[in-house]
Structure formats: C-alpha cells, structure tokens
Amino acid sequence: MVQCYQTRFDASFAALSDATRRGVLEQLGRADASITDLAEKFYMTLTGMKKHVRVLERAGLVTTEKIGRVRTCRLGPRRLEEEAAWIERYHQLWEARFEELDRVVEELNRREKVDGR
C-alpha cells in the first residue's frame, strides 16, 4: 500500500515540478486544448509539448483523445486530494514549530525588558 502511494506521489510531484506542466494544467483548467494549441501558447515544439503531456498523463492529471488528426487534452481524473493532505500535514507541523519559536522569542524579549538590557 505504501509503495502504491509513493509511486503515485512521485508521479504527481514529478509532473508538478515543472513550470510548463503547471501552466498546462492551469490552461486546461480553463478549457480543453489540442497539443498544437498548447505548444503554440508555451512557445515550444510539438515534440516538446508531447513529452510534457505524456508526463501529465502518467500522473493521471491529463487525458488525451485523438479525433482525426487532432489530439485534444483535458484535465484527468486525478484531483490531488491525497497530495494536498500530505502537504497539509507538513504545513501543520511547520506551523506548530513556528508558533513554538514565536513563544521562545517572546519569552526572550520579555526577559530582556525585565533585566533592563
């Protein structure tokens, strides 16, 4: 079970690690687009865009459908809820650490005022 999550997380985070792929997801969130349209929008070759789309497809973030000579891309079935929950756990951990650090700093400031430094 853990291996399944790691593989899925690895694919998701690998897909999201690239600015172009994040941009493609944002674009597809607005409307479906052909690979040609995406390549033009991001000023890249068709081959380059196909590689980006393939990475997004492997992660389940994008699906493609070929109709005639046009391959249309749309958002895939993955919604990244598990990845968001994983990130939120770390967010809460860091938030707790920063709150503790704030308490320590406040205590040091209070002691400085009491000691007259």
Percent of the chain with pLDDT over 70: 93
Residue 76 has φ and ψ, to the nearest 5°, of -90, -175
- Average pLDDT for the chain: 89
Percent of the chain with pLDDT over 90: 56
pLDDT for 68: 92
CA 3 to chain centre: 20
**Which residues make Cβ contacts (< 8 Å) with residue 106, sequence separation at least 6?**
none
Q: What is the pTM of this model?
A: 0.75
28-59, pLDDT tens digit by residue?
999 999 999 999 999 999 999 999 999 999 99
The domain ranges of the chain are 2-75, 80-117
C-alpha 117/C-alpha 113 separation (Å) is 6
C-alpha 112/C-alpha 32 separation (Å) is 61
- 2-75 belongs to which CATH class? mainly alpha
